[in-house]
Amino acid sequence: MGRQVTVLVGAQWGDEGKGKVIDILTRDVQYVVRYQGGNNAGHTVVIGENKYVLHLIPSGILHEGKICVIGHGVVVDPKALINEIEILKQQGIQTAGRLKISDKAHIIFPYHKRIDELRESKRKKGKIGTTKKGIGPCYGDKVSRIGIRMGELYDPDFFRTRLEDNIEEKNPMLKEGGFEEFDAKSIYREYLEYADLLKEYICDTTKLLNEALERGDSILFEGAQGTYLDVDYGTYPYVTSSNSTAGGACTGGGVGPSRIDRVVGVVKAYTTRVGEGPFPTEFGEDLMDRIREKGGEFGATTGRARRCGWFDSVLVRQSVAINGIDQVAITKIDVLDELESIKICTGYRYKGKIYNNIPGDPNFLEECEPVYEEHPGWKEDTSEKTSYADLPENARKYLARIEELIGTDIMLVSVGKSRKQTFSYK
């Protein structure tokens, strides 16, 4: 790779194929680090006949000998993590000695999941369509300074007092919402057992990573979700509760901004979104079913059908700016193989004016009408192509146009789920 620190982010609404691209880039690094989000993520990697779906553990775990870090910006559901470690073990992947968890990562408790559910069920309008994994309420406690961190499980007196305070605060709200209340004692006992099982993995990951950099080792930061799910840059309030953009690697990963050498954006050749929120280029019914079926667009975490639409170059160009993306990996070209013609959104029409950016008006993305240019399809199977030169001419033209519109170089092209269905651009 020749660069010590790479941050990889999703440039759209998540599920761009980050897991696959991480798997390819992991070959060249010693460390792979998750820096935000939690088990709301679902990163799929296909190796030969085997499919792995990673939720909390960095996708790098599938490469023997690589160290995988869950940084302090991640929110950890210990039960889900232990389950993921177990599933990996059954698939022949060992985590012992290779998985490191920050002692400062905040913990998801059962009351976070229930509050997530409660909030969604009580919203009259504007449901977010969360994964119900407790992500928002856990980050809420973190910034309210009442959260509990992984390292604090090993100070039982502190842990018990904090937990009791939290449960005392949350129970009345749950009761009022018609939900069952929680008992601090039983959660305390349950989480001390998790603490025991996870003890070998907990450490100061900031120190670990900075020492690695001093030694000259390379790090790949694995973003979860995508740019437009970022709590600051995304389509608020239809977002997740963390900074999924590249800056999150510094605040949640443990290295300073001057250490980052490159930012890679993963982009799907069309657009998808799970959950609620604006989506200007969303397909009508016919194309929706066709592309969803062909692209296997069902959530890796919740199994929900993903909403699908045309490629939106305005969104991705803005994503390039927000993240400082240097290079793009483009996935799922093969999903478009059968289309007669393919549209790219190049701007929006709103209240009689044409925009090629997204202004601050909160109704803009809900109400705007996309402006498209139309390209002829290639009507040829690309899934067995092994180089850029092999691609049909119209596919090459489509990629070149995307590159031009987003103002960034494409580094990698993906035409299928497997490792070998990947090649470098030009």
Which residues within the stretch 21-60 sit at the binding site for ligand IMO (CB under 6 A)? 40-43
Under the binding rule (CB under 6 A), the answer on residue 417 touching ligand IMO is no
Q: How far is the CB of 83 from Mg ion (least distance, A)?
A: 18
d(CA 127, CA 337): 35
Interacting residues with ligand GDP between 3 and 32 (CB under 6 A) = 10, 14-20
Between CA 59 and CA 20 the distance in angstroms is 8
What is the enclosing helix (H) or strand (E) of 232? none
Q: How far apart are CA 131 and CA 405, in angstroms?
A: 33
Annotated catalytic residue within 43, 63, 72, 375: 43
> What SS3 class is residue 157?
helix
Q: Does 343 bind ligand GDP (CB under 6 A)?
A: no
C-beta separation of 24 from 332 below 8 A: no
* 119 sits near ligand GDP (criterion: CB under 6 A): no
CB neighbour list of residue 376: distance below 8 Å, 6 or more residues apart: 340, 341, 342, 394
Question: Could you say which of ligand GDP, ligand IMO, Mg ion, none residue 296 binds, taking C-beta under 5 to 8 angstroms by partner kind?
Answer: ligand GDP
> Would you call 253 helix, strand, or coil by DSSP?
helix
Residue 302: CB minimum distance to ligand GDP, A: 11
Q: Is 25:6 a contact under the CB 8 Å cutoff?
A: yes
The interface region with ligand IMO, picked from 8-16, 119-127, 150-158, 287-295 by CB under 6 A, is 8-16
Q: Distance between alpha carbon 190 and the CA centroid of its chain, in Å?
A: 29
Site membership for ligand IMO, residue 319 (CB under 6 A):
no
Compute the least distance from the CB of residue 41 to ligand IMO, in Å. 3
Least distance from ligand GDP to the Cβ atom of residue 344, Å: 18
- The stretch near Mg ion (CB under 5 A) out of 14-22, 114-122, 395-403, 409-417 is 14-22
Q: Judge whether 227 and 268 are in contact, CB under 8 Å.
A: no
Other beta carbons less than 10 A from residue 137's beta carbon: 25
SS3 242: coil
Cβ 347 to ligand GDP shortest distance, Å: 26
Spatial distance between the Cα atoms of 350 and 365, rounded to a whole number of angstroms:
9
Q: Which stretch binds ligand IMO (CB under 6 A): 10-18, 146-154, 183-191, 338-346?
A: 10-18
User: Counting contacts by CB under 5 A, is residue 77 touching Mg ion?
Assistant: no
Measured from the CB atom, is 129 or 151 closer to ligand IMO?
129
Strand duo 409-414 + 422-424: pairing: antiparallel
Q: Is 375 a catalytic residue?
A: no
Minimum distance, C-beta of residue 7 to ligand IMO, in the bound complex (Å): 14
User: Is residue 43 among the annotated active site residues?
Assistant: yes
Query: Does 72 contact ligand GDP by CB under 6 A?
Result: no
Instruction: State the CB neighbour count (10 A cutoff) for residue 195.
Output: 19
Give DSSP secondary structure letters for 202-231: EE-HHHHHHHHHHHT--EEEE--S-GGGST
Minimum separation from the CB atom of position 118 to Mg ion (A): 25
Query: Is residue 411 near ligand GDP by the rule CB under 6 A?
Result: no
Cβ neighbours of residue 224 closer than 8 Å, sequence gap 6 or more: 10, 14, 18, 34, 36, 37, 40, 41, 43, 244
Q: How many residues bind ligand GDP (CB under 6 A)?
A: 23
Among residues 46, 203, 287, 371, the one that binds ligand GDP under rule CB under 6 A: 46
**Where do contacts with ligand IMO occur on this chain (CB under 6 A)?**
10, 14-15, 40-43, 128-131, 133, 135-136, 224-226, 229, 240-241, 274-275, 300
**Where do contacts with ligand GDP occur on this chain (CB under 6 A)?**
10, 14-20, 42-44, 46, 295-296, 300, 331-332, 334-335, 414-417
**Where do contacts with Mg ion occur on this chain (CB under 5 A)?**
15, 42, 300
Residues marked as catalytic? 15, 43
